[in-house]
């Protein structure tokens, strides 16, 4: 196991790491206190998964309504009442949306556009990513607030000292990395 070194920074920070996957996504976080060894922690509770013990990921799916607005995200989109409402109101289920952002020129890219479920008309993969990251950010803030003894004060103590880490698949180059930074920034600035 890798021995972590004490944080050498001069000020306290919170680091939020987003792992947005094709089928499941998760968030981890770490408090960086000067002179202390960082401890990485996961977000273990997401909406509609409160009864699941220690589930550290949520489905990367959502529903968009007829006006291209995101209505339901994550495990909530799998609930029977949501599925019924989606059918009644003509919502579109959006899954595998991250694949629309992939690099299409890689030799190992055996997936074609026709293999991926289409996005709703008028909705881009970047819009979906922005909504999904805003959702994950909200889940992380809620989890941190509810799981720490001084939740709100703990989170407020970081004010603007939050660093964000965004993972991406191997082979994603500068253009794909740049693409995901814009939606990430959008979800962060609207906090």
Decide if 70 is inside a domain.
yes
Q: Answer whether residue 3 is part of any domain.
A: no
Q: Is 15 helix (H, G, I), strand (E, B) or coil?
A: strand
CA distance 83 to 57: 20
Residue 169, domain CATH: 3.30.420
Q: Are 98 and 60 in contact (CB under 8 A)?
A: yes
Which structure tokens are listed for 78?
């799998």
pTM of the model: 0.85
What pLDDT shows up at residue 189?
47
Task: Say if 7 falls within a structural domain.
Answer: no
State both tokens at 130. Answer: 């922005």
Query: Is 8 contained in some domain?
Result: no
Domain count of the fold of the chain: 1
Q: Give the model's pLDDT for residue 150.
A: 87
Question: The domain containing residue 125 runs over which residues?
Answer: 13-189
In a domain, 153, yes or no: yes
10-residue mean pLDDT series, the chain (191 residues): 84 92 93 93 89 78 95 96 97 92 64 84 90 92 90 84 77 58 54 46
Residue 35 gets which letter from DSSP?
A: T
22 assigned to some structural domain: yes
| Nearest alpha-carbon partner for 73 in 90, 91, 53 | 91
Q: Please report which helix (H) or strand (E) contains residue 25, including its range.
A: strand 24-32
The pLDDT assigned to 79 comes to 95
The confidence score (pLDDT) of residue 163 equals 86
Q: With respect to residue 1, please indicate whether it lies within any of the assigned structural domains.
A: no
Report the pLDDT value the prediction gives residue 107, as an integer from 0 to 100: 53
């Amino acid at each position: 196991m890798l021995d972590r070194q004490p944080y050498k920074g001069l000020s306290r920070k919170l680091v939020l790491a987003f792992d947005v996957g094709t089928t499941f996504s998760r968030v981890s976080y770490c408090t960086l206190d000067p002179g202390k060894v960082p401890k990485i922690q996961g977000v273990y509770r997401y909406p509609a998964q409160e009864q699941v013990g220690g589930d550290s990921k949520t489905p990367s799916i959502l529903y968009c309504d007829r006006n291209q607005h995101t209505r339901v995200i994550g495990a909530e989109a799998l609930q029977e009442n949501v599925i019924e409402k989606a059918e009644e109101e003509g919502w579109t289920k959006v899954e595998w949306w991250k694949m629309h952002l992939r690099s299409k020129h890689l030799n190992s890219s055996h997936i074609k556009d026709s293999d991926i479920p289409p996005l709703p008309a008028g909705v881009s993969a970047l819009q979906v990513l922005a909504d999904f990251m805003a959702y994950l950010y909200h889940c992380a803030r809620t989890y941190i607030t509810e799981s720490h003894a001084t939740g709100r004060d703990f989170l407020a103590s970081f004010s603007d000292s939050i660093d964000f880490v965004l993972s991406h698949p191997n082979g994603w180059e500068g253009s794909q990395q740049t693409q995901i930074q814009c939606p990430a920034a959008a979800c962060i600035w609207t906090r």
